[in-house]
Amino acid sequence: MKYFLYLIVLAVVAITLINCQELTVRNNYTGFRADEEIAIFSQKGHRFKLDGDLNSPVDRLNLIPGSYIIEYIDLYSNLRGAAYCEVKAGNHYAIKAQGFQDYPQYMKRVIKGICVAKSISE
C-alpha cells in the first residue's frame, strides 16, 4: 500500500512537470510594443519562425507589420510548411493548411498554407 501511494505521488509530479512547459516567444523588434502595434502568430499545436531565421521555431511570433514568409511545424504530425503573409498591426494570425507539396527527390512532404487573421480584441 505504501509503495502504491509513492507511485501515485510520483505519477502526479511527473504529469505536472510535463504540463508546465514554458511558451517560447520571439520578436523581430526591440523594446516594448503593445499588441495593437504588432502582428501575432500563435496557434495550438504549431510552432513558427521567419524564413531564414537560424533559431528554432517558437510558440508565439510577434512581428512588426510587413510581408514575411513564415515557416511552421505541425507538432502533431511533425509536417513542416510555409506561408507567405502580409501582416497588419493589431491582428492575431494562424496558418490554415491549403494542401501538400511533395518533393520526392528529397523524400519530403510540406504543407502549403495561407495566413488567417482575426482581431486581437476578439
Q: What are the CA-CA distances from residue 107 to residues 35, 70, 102 (Å)?
A: 40, 22, 8
Q: How confident is the model at residue 89 (pLDDT cuts 50, 70, 90)?
A: very high
Domain borders along the chain are 24-119
Q: Does the pLDDT value for residue 30 go beyond 80?
A: yes
Q: Which helix (H) or strand (E) holds 1?
A: none
Q: What is the pTM of this model?
A: 0.72
